[in-house]
Amino acid sequence: MAKGNKFLSTRVPIMCGAMTWVSDVHLVRAVNRAGAFGVLASGNMPPEQLESNIDELKKTDKIFGVNLITIAPNFQNHLEIVCRKKVSHIIFAGSYPKASEVKKAKDSGAKVLCFAPTQQIADRMVSFGADGIILEGSEAGGHIGPVSTVVLIQQFLFEMREIPIFIAGGIASGKMVLHLLLMGAAGVQMGTRFVLSKECTAHQKFKEAFIRAQARDAMATPQFDSALPVIPVRALKNKGMKNFAKLQLELLKKLEEGKIDRTQAQYEVEKYWVGSLLRAVQEGDVEFGSLMAGQSVGLVKEIKSVKEIIDEILNDMEEELVKVKKMLGN
């Protein structure tokens, strides 16, 4: 675990995935105190709110990450703030950043992590100067790429060792963490697992929906037409998912009629997800709100404290390592 711990300045190289409206100051602090790595989700929050959240975290925590959504309208403002505030780790997500944006983040003194849902994007982010890569498979929740975790591991992790690589998507157990480290990963990222933590401030109905869900219930949204390219979103199936399908068809009709352009249509898509996720997380609207969850939701059925989650993962890792040593005759 040394490589990941050194990069993150942690005791355990586990990152808590930045979930909009979920990964707040409270959850980041709890994760950090448990020895793992907390990441503040900026989403598209007002710039002054992001600045306030960073200031509040810095009162107690020197090391933490801030996740920036490159397709968010406030992205450039957010990038300015994290650089000015000297945040220790800056994470680009949503889409991929420009080389100049990676440089700007690095010039602020931050360590830069970039998400990569394909081998090609991972290679590009490395060429841009990323200090680390989060290799995220399609099993993850929220906005996802097209390739599964197990394939990405074979395409990229086994071939790239000079920078830290963290694996995300479908991870919920200490056994899996141990085997990913043995494969060469510097650490992992988990999001869905930490939703079911006592410190997570999401609505109780939101958490209960996760507890009831099976892995197959976390579905990816379809793209109906290339005229409206949308990044797939994995969430629990509900009426909100059906409404998103209707929205796509309405936007495609407006595009055909020339009433809106592609940029406006894509903005309406993101606006839908931001609003519906807010209703689910804060108001408990599990019927029409967005229940963004990874397929690992089927592996998590109990609410525990963040410390208990981390301790359980570490214990499972130790037990699995003993089994692996016995299998190898050591």
- pLDDT tens, position by position, 40-94: 999 889 999 999 999 999 999 999 999 999 988 899 999 999 999 999 999 999 8
- pLDDT tens, position by position, 105-149: 999 999 999 999 998 999 999 999 999 999 999 999 988 889 999
Tokens of 279: 């209703």
Residue for token pair 């841009």: 128
Nearest Cα neighbor of 37 from 57, 20, 53 is 57
Average pLDDT over all residues of the chain: 94
pLDDT of 133:
96
Choice between 127 and 273, residue whose per-residue pLDDT is larger: 127
Give the chain's domains with CATH numbers: 2-198 (3.20.20.70)
pLDDT of 232:
86
What pTM was estimated for this model as a whole?
A: 0.93
Residues 119, 211: Cα–Cα separation, whole Å = 33
The two beta strands, 233-236 and 218-220, are: antiparallel
Q: Please check whether residue 40 is in contact with residue 17, taking contact to mean a CB–CB distance below 8 angstroms.
A: no
pLDDT of 18:
94
- pLDDT tens, position by position, 177-200: 999 999 999 999 999 999 999 999
pLDDT of 169:
96
What pLDDT band is residue 229 in, cutting at 50, 70 and 90? confident
Residue type, 299: L
pLDDT at 160 over 80: no
